[in-house]
Structure 1
Amino acid sequence: EGPEQPSNASIAAMAKEHGLEYAYLPVVSGAITPEQVVEMAKLLKSMPQPILAFCRSGARSTFLYQLALQNS
């Protein structure tokens, strides 16, 4: 993401420390691929609920989530 946000490694470590499952699926605004949509749909089905997906503004996460739901 950016220098002001936590790194993938730090989030993964914190999730592990707290017994949470973690997946990393980076997407670029305006360039979400069909493969990323399929992967998100798989994660939505396989990960424990509730799921937290986030990005800086929430727009990419929300858009990817909506696409994944439509693809399911």
Structure 2
Amino acid sequence: MEIRQITEDYFVAPQIAVDDIAAIREAGFRSVISNRPDAEDGAVPHGEVEAAVRAAGLEFRYIPVVSGSLTQENVDAQARALDELPKPVLAYCRSGARCTNLYMLVRQQNG
């Protein structure tokens, strides 16, 4: 599992597996955000990941972003999640790029 640090409290990763949750918890993460739609090829259904994340005592949000189609609704939902979730947060998608781009748009919007 490759985790990239964007800020002190925000990290991104490619698709995670249920088997990764223990390591994510041990790394000190308190929340996980899935930005990968379930219908995307290779996606692990978010419900499976969410169940494992919550069983590990972490918070979870599902904010699916279609590749190449970021919307204002996505930005607003991610901003709310980042305001509300305990930190540090790990967000994932197929490669981590959508999570990174989404974060940059949230920062730009919030000034």
**Structure 1 unaligned residues grouped into runs of 5+:** none
Greater strand proportion:
2
Indicate the percent of aligned positions where both proteins have the same amino acid.
44
Which of 47, 64, 75 matches 1:37? Answer: 75
Q: Take 1:9 and 1:43, find their aligned partners in 2: how far apart are those partners?
A: 17
Out of 92, 97, 100, the position equivalent to 1:59 is 97
The structure with higher relative contact order (CA 8 Å, sep 6+) is 2
Letter in 1 for 2:41: G
2:48 counterpart of 1:13: no
Distance in 2, matches of 1:12 and 1:2, equals: 19
Residue 41 of structure 2 is aligned to residue 2 of structure 1? yes
Instruction: Tell me the distance in 2 between the aligned counterparts of 1:70 and 1:19.
Output: 31
Residues 8-60 of structure 1: CA deviation (Å, up to 9, x unaligned): 11111001110111000000121111111011111111100001111111111
- Indicate the RMSD between aligned Cα atoms, in angstroms: 1.1
Point out where structure 2 has 5 or more consecutive residues left out of the alignment: 1-39
How many residue pairs get aligned? The number is: 71
Counterpart CA distance in 2 for 1:69 and 1:27 is 17
Q: CA deviation at 1:2?
A: 2.5
- Normalization by structure 2: what TM-score? 0.60
The aligned counterpart of 2:4 is none
Partner of 2:88: 50
More helix by share: 1
Pairwise CA distance, 1:70: 1.3
